[in-house]
A and B are shown apart, each in its own frame.
Chain A
Amino acid sequence: MNVIETEGLTRVFTGRPDRGNRLRRSRHVAVDGLDLTVEAGESVGYIGANGAGKSTTIKMLVGILVPTSGTVTTMGLHPLKQRRALARRIGVVFGQRSQLWWDLPVRESFSILAAIHSLTAADERARTAELVDMLEMEEFLATPVRQLSLGQRMRAEVAAALLHRPDLVILDEPTIGLDVLSKQRLREFLVAQRREHGTTLLLTTHDMGDVERLCERILVVDHGRLAFDGTLDGLARTVGARRELVVDLAVATPDLTDVAGAEHVRSDSDGLRQRFAFDPQRMTAARVLAAISERAEVLDLSIAEPDIEDVVREIYRATRR
């Protein structure tokens, strides 16, 4: 079954009339004739620059924004007309908005949501216990939401969205502002949920790590149109999503341009710090490092993942040509 189906989905925002000319209004096409199909069990990363139309698409998918034209069906339902039926089957996390009760303890929020989704008392207990365990929330269950740290709140938000075991989970910037450890914990949880419940996942993100660890399929949106639809490998092939290894050397060293499998990008501080790019599909960081170590003493190193902005920019460049 198709979990998401859109045909010619379009949303145009019209601004207020111009001061000088009352008949002219500013017009912004946020989503432009989007045809999209997502099947059950897929995990899809929906990426694009700010203002590319990601959030607008999601709002139409879940029925909080009316399309200007085109059709959208989510879980086989009409998002606007069948709002409540759809709400029972999807879980949505907006990284910037809270679905928890600000003044009440986290536990209370979960309990109210369980009642909203008509979970039985036994089911509520079992599911809450499972989520508390997997997302390590025991220590702050009794804390009012307004006193949670960002990392704690995001875990609680994700748990709140998944409490009723939705078939489709939509996450809008779920890891924004989280530290590395919190991000990792959240990703592991989402992977486990997919494995156990076959949940379909759709997420927008600015974090390449989210995409690489969570998504099998990537959609890149540009000016409201799909600029890329394929796998992570396909994306890497299209834009050459290379990693960068940065090494700090013990002494100033001439540019190491002869490292096999890696390309010397740049040297700083007279060659004390050198940067190498490599394709993770063909080369491992360890082998690149070994090759460098044969030529110079490495004091410190770091690996930079490509920014999602760079990937998106590359895609835009490739498709606009």
Chain B
Amino acid sequence: MRPLTPPARNPYWRFLLAGFRGQSAYPLATLAGLVANATFGVLKGSIMGAAVESSGGELAGYTAGSMAAFVWLGQGLLGSVNLWGGSDLQTRIKSGDVAVDFLRPVSVQASHVLTDVGKGLFGLLPRGLPSVLIGVAIGGMVLPSDPSAYALGLISLLLGIAVSHACIYAVGTSGFWLVESRGVAVFYLSFSGLFAGLYTPIYLFPDWLLTLALLTPFPSMMQLPVDVLSGQVTGVAAWQHLGVQALWLAIVLAVGHLSTRAGRRRLEVQGG
């Protein structure tokens, strides 16, 4: 049997770490992100709170407290998932720097996805945690009392971050054919927030729209982890959530892998 490689000598672990550390180089941008998150959180919280109140204290299974949890956990996740569609891969294909990625004896997909996941994990510290604290302090957010909600929630959260960045990678590979894939990113942006449950819980949608949303990977990025983390969904249903997320992770990773293999042959690195 091959001896296990210590983490420091494992390139993929180093990519994860590089993403995490690289992101910490921009404290001002992180702070600005938190302020924007909190501002929109207060707005969203008031609107959704009013909606719950006007429907008699309960709306699609949400109470005032659990709706606040939905709002603030979602805001907290914004710094860790990518709903806007752009990526390093996209810019590196356009500039030709992606050539450097292909000249390394590692998987280009794994190196990109892990770097982005590393950035996402860093985002939990300066943006995720403070959002939750703000939510508890001023938003009336209720934390789950069952410790298993935290354990499953953490797994669901990690899966959500992974699905998001693996999906963004797959979207970015369209650049192998298009070179300039900003249009694809804009298209992505126009669906991601709605179906991820950024604006309202997707359970408020009419049936047909909810079905449509559930046929995309977007709920796995935010709605499902927020369900599990907030304790809104527990037990078998929580495990089902994790299963759906794992399935989407496998699908978007497979798509990214195949499109890298096909797209690589189309790549025309621009310039010198």
Contacts and interface: CB of A to CB of B under 8 A. Distances in A.
Nearest to B96: A97
A83 B100 CA distance: 12
B268 interface: yes
Interface string A136-150: 000000001000000
A144 B104 CA distance: 21
A72 B109 CA distance: 25
B226 to A, nearest CB: 30
B11 A115 contact: yes
Interface stretch (A100-108, A210-218, A236-244): A100-108
B269 A65 contact: yes
Contact of A116 (B11, B21, B265): B11
Given A64-B269, A87-B105, A88-B105, A94 B100 contact: yes
Contact of A102 (B22, B267, B272): B22
A115 B9 contact: yes
A116 B106 contact: yes
Contacts of B15: 112
A247 interface: no
Interface in A279-309: none
A66 interface: yes
Contacts of A66: 265
Contacts of A59: 99, 269
Nearest to A54: B272
Interface string A202-227: 00000000000000000000000000
Contacts of A64: 99, 102-103, 267, 269
Given A65-B268, A66-B265, A92 B103 contact: yes
Contacts of B11: 112, 115-116
Interface string B133-150: 000000000000000000
A13 B271 CA distance: 13
Interface in A245-265: none
Contacts of B268: 13, 65
A294 B268 CA distance: 60
Interface string B257-272: 0000000110111011
A115 B272 contact: no
A120 B3 CA distance: 13
A69 interface: no
A49 to B, nearest CB: 13
A117 B264 CA distance: 22
Contacts of A111: 8, 14
A98 interface: yes
B10 interface: yes
A103 B100 contact: no
A13 B268 CA distance: 9
A97 B105 contact: no
B26 to A, nearest CB: 8
Given A96-B272, A103-B25, A118 B97 contact: no
Contacts of B265: 66, 80
A112 B13 CA distance: 10
A299 to B, nearest CB: 41
A118 B9 contact: yes
A99 B100 contact: yes
Contacts of A85: 105
A92 B106 CA distance: 15
B233 interface: no
A188 to B, nearest CB: 24
Nearest to B111: A116
Nearest to A55: B272
Contacts of A99: 100, 103
A84 interface: yes
A171 to B, nearest CB: 12
Nearest to B97: A97
A88 B25 CA distance: 30
Interface string B92-118: 000111011011111000000000000
Interface in B43-66: none
Contacts of B96: 97
Given A96-B271, A104-B22, 10 more contacts: A85-B105, A94-B272, A96-B272, A97-B99, A97-B100, A103-B23, A104-B18, A112-B18, A115-B10, A115-B14
The 4 closest A-B CB pairs, nearest first, are: A103-B22, A87-B105, A103-B25, A84-B105
Interface of B: 8-11, 13-15, 18, 21-23, 25-26, 95-97, 99-100, 102-106, 264-265, 267-269, 271-272
Interface of A: 13, 55, 59, 62-66, 80, 83-85, 87-88, 90, 92, 94-99, 101-104, 108, 111-112, 115-118, 120-121, 144, 172-173
16 contacts: A55-B271, A64-B99, A83-B102, A83-B105, A84-B106, A94-B99, A97-B97, A103-B22, A112-B18, A115-B11, A116-B11, A116-B105, A118-B9, A121-B8, A144-B25, A173-B272
